Amino acid sequence: MFRALRLVWDVGIHSLGWSLEECANYAKPYGFSLGDLRWELERYVAWPGQALSYKIGEQRIIGLRERARDELGEAFDLRAFHRLVLETGAVPLELLDERVAAWIGKRGG
């Protein structure tokens, strides 16, 4: 639930102009108070798009992993896939897509 709230707060703060109090009020039905959340909310104020970009990246990596698994079948190596993603480092997702496609091609996919 907390991860889902982060996505709502990120949009609420930066697109809808929510205050910290409005964010806390949104989270109140889930047992959180402004006192519990202040540090976390201030982080999202200072770092626009952090929660959304994290989630988008996570979803893309999961999709690339599924693609590699589908195309490589028994030749798919989860550890090698994770190594590739981690060694690639912080790059635009399009470059990660290209790197994974080349990796799949080298492995026979």
DSSP three-state, residue 18: coil
pLDDT of 83 reads 97
Q: Which tokens hold the place of 81? A: 């896939």
**Can you list the residues of the chain whose pLDDT is less than 70?**
109
pTM score of the predicted model: 0.79
pLDDT of 34 reads 84
pLDDT of 109 reads 66
Q: Which tokens hold the place of 42? A: 């201030």
The angle at the Cα of 47, spanning 42 to 30, to the nearest 5 degrees, equals 50
pLDDT of 43 reads 87
